[in-house]
Structure 1
């Protein structure tokens, strides 16, 4: 049977208008780091274009060699900046740092990732491939919600989370802002995009 992590992992559960506290276990991702406006910085598009061939090569290797097939999970990203205002009031995307990521199942080994990287490099080396790495992310206690709408409309939700919900719940931010893109912006109009917004806290 094909495993769909979106349906089995608690971290993919979120509702609009609800801030939910959850504990996220350590999970491993294919990652690429970068800086700048994701809409105009070439390295962002290159990072995404490097992740997917590696992810699908891993998926096919898992099915062929381990007999374990799975759905490649949705794109995710960590975002941060020197000033939080760059995300809320100012929305200055040129100041953003980011890590784009694709979750891989826990049975995928580092050796399998090395093999996938080598295979992709032999077939067609996409720009950014040398920046792809496997890393375990342990976020622990988090708060998340589901945002429906354009990415630029997230600011009010984030302001509510940062300025109202977290102080009211006796929590403070610890890790990096995390987004999970449940919709493909190439196929879904901006007003209907579904994005999980997650913030590690303590």
Structure 2
């Protein structure tokens, strides 16, 4: 009799920090989480660095998933793309939306059992494709991010339409709760923008606070 396949964990369903509601700001505690990360700057719509970053993250994320299932018997759903965003003048990110001045860290969360050795093995496996390997592969790192207390909400619609909701978050809700912003603006892209109409995109907007 064949052995049953291991249960597949979907961290979007098991971790509270991946839940958000449209029209509601929630103050929650985010535990330290492990991520594949790669840094860059510039307009995400036109930057080659942004495209190369995405192209480097996903092959590694899938190599780690397959290795976890094969070697540890622990299967899971590959998590969505996320991004930390900042600028020297945050108005260029919130109100002015001057994307050419943005800096970013693209990320994909991986399970806490992902070791440095597993990451190194995944990098070596992806790199073995030679000329077909992602151009930005060497820029990816494995890192733990400890955000702690955050405020988050769900934005439904185009990324370019986030500014009014961000203004409410930054200028009304956070100071109204006696909090202040710290750290970097964080977005979690629950929708695949290649297959989703702009007005139906679902994005968690998160801001660390203290």
Taking structure 1 as the reference length, what is the TM-score of the superposition?
A: 0.99
Q: Does 1:165 align with 2:162?
A: no
Alignment size in residue pairs: 202
Unaligned runs of 5+ in 1: none
Partners of 1:157 and 1:108 in 2: how far apart? 35
SS at match of 1:198: strand
Query: What does residue 84 of structure 2 align with?
Result: 78
- What CA RMSD, in Å, does the superposition of the two structures yield over aligned residues? 0.6
How far the C-alpha of 1:84 sits from its partner, in A, is 1.2
Query: What does residue 109 of structure 1 align with?
Result: 115
How far the C-alpha of 1:87 sits from its partner, in A, is 1.4
Residue of structure 1 aligned with 2:196, choices 183, 188, 196: 188
> Higher Cα Rg: structure 1 or 2?
2
How far the C-alpha of 1:37 sits from its partner, in A, is 0.3
How far the C-alpha of 1:88 sits from its partner, in A, is 1.8
Partners of 1:158 and 1:89 in 2: how far apart? 9
Mapping 1:108-187, distance limit 5 Å = 108-123=114-129, 124-187=132-195
Deviation >2 Å, runs of 4+: none
SS at match of 2:165: helix
Query: What per-residue deviation string (whole Å, max 9, x for no partner) do you get for residues 58-112 of structure 1?
Result: 0000000000010000100000001111112210000000000000001111110
SS at match of 2:193: coil
Query: What does residue 4 of structure 2 align with?
Result: none
How far the C-alpha of 1:173 sits from its partner, in A, is 0.5
How far the C-alpha of 1:197 sits from its partner, in A, is 0.1
SS at match of 1:55: helix
Taking structure 2 as the reference length, what is the TM-score of the superposition?
A: 0.95
